[in-house]
Amino acid sequence: MAEIIPFQSVRPPKDKVHLVASRSYVTYKPKALHRKLKENPYSFIHIINPEFGKSEKSDPNSPERFQKVKERYEEFRQQAFLEQDHKPAFYLYKQVTPRRSFMGIICGVQVQEYLDGKIKIHEETITQRVEVFTEYLDTCDFNAEPVLLTYKEKGHINLPELAETYCINAAEYDFTTTDQIRHQVWVIDQKDDIEEIQRRFAKVKNLYIADGHHRMASSAKLGENRKSRNHWSPTDICNYALALLIPDSILEIESFHRLINLGAPLNEGELIEKLSVHFDVEKSEKSICPEKRFEFGMRLPSGWYSLKLKSSDISFKTVVGQLDPMLLTKHVLEPIFGILDQKTDPRIQFVPGIESPRKFEKKVDKGEVSALFTLHPVSTDELFAVADANEIMPPKSTYIEPKLRSGLTIMPLS
Q: What is the pLDDT of residue 40?
A: 95
pLDDT of residue 272: 96
Strands 371-375 and 256-260: antiparallel
Q: Which of 105, 101, 402, 45 is nearest to 254 (CA)?
A: 402
Question: How many angstroms separate the Cα of 238 from the Cα of each of 5, 219, 222, 223, 233?
Answer: 12, 8, 7, 5, 9
* Grouped pLDDT means (10 residues each) for the chain, 414 residues: 94 97 88 91 96 87 96 98 98 94 96 97 94 97 96 76 80 95 96 93 94 96 89 88 95 95 91 96 94 96 95 83 95 96 94 87 91 96 96 94 94 96
pLDDT for 153 equals 81
- In this prediction the pTM is 0.93
Beta carbons of 203 and 156 less than 8 angstroms apart:
yes
Q: What is the pLDDT of residue 375?
A: 97
Name the 3-class secondary structure at 170.
Answer: coil
- Selection from 17, 66, 318 nearest residue 171 by Cα: 17
> Which domains occur in the chain, in start order?
4-253+401-412 (3.90.1530.10), 256-397 (3.30.1760)
Q: How far apart are CA 205 and CA 247, in angstroms?
A: 13
- φ, ψ of residue 321 to 5 degrees: the values are -65, -15
What's the CA gap between 284 and 304, in Å, rounded? Answer: 5
Strand partners, 246: 150
- One-letter amino acid identity for 17? V
Q: Any alpha helices (H) in 276-335, and if so which ranges? A: 324-328
Residues 196-215: b if buried by 16+ CB within 10 A, e if exposed: ebbebbeebebbbbbbbbbb
Cβ–Cβ under 8 Å, residues 165 and 253: no
Cβ neighbours around 121 below 10 Å, total: 19
Residue 81 — φ and ψ, nearest 5°?
-75, -25
The pLDDT score that the predictor gives to residue 270 is 95
Nearest to 275 by CA among 349, 335, 197: 335
**In whole angstroms, what is the distance from residue 296 CA to residue 355 CA?**
16
- Angle, CA 186 vertex, CA 138 and CA 5 arms, to 5°: 45
pLDDT at 260: 97
In order of 7, 9, 13, 336, the CA distances from 84 in angstroms are 10, 6, 9, 55
Residue 313 pLDDT: 75
